[in-house]
Amino acid sequence: MTTPSSTSSGTTPTVGPSGSPSETPSATPSGTPSATPSVAPSPTPTAKPTKPAKPRPPAAYAKQVEAKLDALGYPVGDVDGDITKRAQQALCAWRETHGMPISRGGLTMADVRSVLRANRKPVATKEPGIYVNKTCQVLYQVVGTTYKRIVWVSTGAPGYDTPNRTGKVWRKWAGAHESSLYDDAYMYDSIYFLKDRPGIALHGSRVNTLIKTYPASHRCVRVMRPQIHEIFGETAIGTKVQVYGKY
C-alpha cells in the first residue's frame, strides 16, 4: 500500500497504536491570537481641593492704615499697628470727611478699603472756618476748600459741656494768661468765639497731656500745642467757629 507523503490539510499523518492514522498539528493555527497578560491600570491620584484663603481681618491692615492716615494729616499717634483711642479719633475724622457713618469705633474693612485707596485729602464741603466735632474730639481748620489742619481737642467735661453753637472769633489773646475762674489754670493763644459769661475759647494748655481723648475741660476747647499757635496766627477776627456733635 502506498503511503501519501502529504495531505491537503498540511499535517503529517502518523500511525497510532490501532493502526489508524492520527494527525499531529505541525504549527499553531494562524487564526488563534496568542494570549497577552492584561495589566490593570494604576488609579489616577485625585488632587485634594484647595481651600479658599481665609480673608484677612481688619487688624492685619492696621499699621498700613495708620501710616496712610498720618501721611494725609489725620493724627493717629504712634504708627505701630495698635488702634488706640488716638487712632480711633483719626478714623472718626476720616469717616466724617468721607461721608461714612461717624463713630469712634475700631477699624473695619470699610475703613481699610477707603483709606488704602485714597491718595489725598478730600475737598472740604464746609465753608472756611474752624469746626469742632465733639463726637470725634477733633478740630478741623478749613482754609479755602481744604482741610488745612485736623487736630485733637478736648471739649467740656460733663457738667461743663461746650455748647453746640456757631460763633465768630471776637477776641484773641496771644501767649499765656491765667484763667479768671480757676487758679493755676493757664490758657495759651486763646481764640474767643462765644460771648458767654465767661467767654468760651479755643486755647492751648500748659501741657498737652491735658488734651484727653475725651471731654475734660471747663467749657472751653483745649487744643494741642503748637497747633493752636499756628491756628492763632492764621485766624482773623470774625472767623466762623462751629461746635457740634455728641460724645
The residues annotated as belonging to the active site are 203, 220
How many angstroms separate the CA atoms of 189 and 64, rounded?
A: 35
241 φ, ψ to 5°?
-130, 125
- Find the largest Cα–Cα distance for the chain: 159
Listed in sequence order, the residues at least 6 apart from 142 whose beta carbon sits closer than 8 Å to its beta carbon are 124, 126, 127, 128, 129, 130, 131, 148
Distances (CA, A) of 167 to 59, 136, 162: 40, 20, 12
Nearest Cα neighbor of 115 from 70, 68, 80 is 68
Instruction: Pinpoint the alpha helices (H) of 74-206.
Output: 85-97, 109-117
Distances (CA, A) of 82 to 55, 56, 61, 91, 150: 20, 16, 10, 13, 20
Cβ–Cβ under 8 Å, residues 194 and 165: yes
